[in-house]
């Protein structure tokens, strides 16, 4: 099944890749986050599947004006792992102390980040939220309803640009999200393993 999902990420268009990624990473899909790459190691919960919603503002460049796709599949030769390179228009970074607390309570992520992805044990670890659709300008109640199904949480390092999907408690994590980082210039990409 993993090879099938990898092939899909190779051949699908940007919107379909984006949808498959969010179906694989949202809070209702099963994922142990122990198998890499995490974006293909989940069982999709099809109850929440709906086609790409055209009337919501996308959180990625649908026109690919920057000369590349918003989501592409790559291979890291030294790690012998595939990864998705994701370029959202906006993202949210959780407070630094939250990431430290989260890691101390979830040792499986430490093993994945430091052992499998070879992150420096002294690098700063962040938790980032990426939404399928832009949240800016949306009503708060509408934003909250979109969280569990149209948002993925990533844990990793900006410095080394290595990330995995992770599951955080939504009620706590959502309330502390501050203003988004604007990435309309596509200068920040996330390499997700």
Q: Residue 182: inside a domain, yes or no?
A: yes
Phi, psi values for residue 3, rounded to 5°: -65, -30
* C-alpha span between 25 and 88 (Å, rounded): 15
Q: How far apart are the first and last CA of the chain?
A: 17
Domain total of the chain: 1
Domain span holding position 171: 2-43+57-192
Q: Residue 135: inside a domain, yes or no?
A: yes
Tell me the per-residue pLDDT of 74-98, one tens digit each, with 9 for 90 and over. 999 999 999 999 999 999 998 878 8
Which residue reads 């790559």 in tokens? 74
Tell me the per-residue pLDDT of 127-137, one tens digit each, with 9 for 90 and over. 999 988 887 66
Q: Residue 132: inside a domain, yes or no?
A: yes
- Give the pLDDT confidence score for residue 22 in this predicted structure: 85
What is the layout of strands, in order, in the sheet containing 181-182? 71-76, 81-86, 190-192, 162-166, 151-157, 126-131, 90-93, 181-182
Q: Residue 134: inside a domain, yes or no?
A: yes
Q: Residue 48: inside a domain, yes or no?
A: no
Q: Residue 50: inside a domain, yes or no?
A: no
Q: Which residues contact 32 (CB under 8 A, 6 or more apart)?
A: 41, 108
Cross-strand partners of 43:
30
Neighbour count for residue 120 (Cβ, 10 Å): 11
Both tokens of 52, joined, read: 């790409």
Q: Residue 9: inside a domain, yes or no?
A: yes
Higher pLDDT, residue 167 or 102: 102
Higher pLDDT, residue 110 or 169: 110
- Give the pLDDT confidence score for residue 14 in this predicted structure: 84
Q: What is the mean pLDDT of the chain?
A: 81
Mean pLDDT of 64-80: 80
* C-alpha span between 174 and 79 (Å, rounded): 32
Tell me the per-residue pLDDT of 23-47, one tens digit each, with 9 for 90 and over. 888 777 777 677 788 888 777 777 6
Q: Residue 49: inside a domain, yes or no?
A: no
pLDDT band with cut points at 50, 70 and 90 for residue 126 = very high
Q: Which residues contact 38 (CB under 8 A, 6 or more apart)?
A: 25, 31, 164, 165, 192, 193
Q: The pTM is what?
A: 0.86
pLDDT band with cut points at 50, 70 and 90 for residue 68 = low
Instruction: Answer yes or no: is pLDDT of 48 > 80.
Output: no
């Amino acid at each position: 099944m993993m090879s099938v999902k990898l092939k899909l990420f190779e051949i699908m268009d940007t919107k379909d890749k984006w949808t498959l990624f969010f179906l694989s990473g949202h809070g209702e899909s099963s994922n142990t986050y122990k198998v890499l790459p995490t974006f293909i190691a989940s069982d999709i919960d099809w109850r929440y599947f709906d086609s790409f919603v055209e009337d919501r503002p996308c959180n990625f460049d649908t026109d690919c004006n920057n000369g590349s796709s918003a989501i592409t599949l790559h291979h890291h030769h030294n790690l012998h792992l595939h990864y998705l390179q994701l370029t959202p228009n906006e993202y949210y970074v959780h407070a630094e102390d939250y990431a430290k607390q989260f890691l101390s309570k979830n040792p499986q992520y430490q093993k994945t980040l430091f052992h499998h992805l070879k992150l420096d044990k002294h690098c700063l670890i962040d938790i980032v939220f990426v939404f399928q659709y832009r949240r800016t300008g949306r009503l708060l109640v509408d934003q909250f309803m979109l969280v569990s199904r149209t948002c993925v949480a990533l844990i990793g390092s900006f410095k080394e640009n290595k990330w995995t999907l992770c599951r955080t408690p939504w009620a706590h994590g959502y309330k502390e999200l501050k203003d988004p980082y604007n990435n309309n210039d596509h200068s920040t990409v996330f390499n997700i393993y």
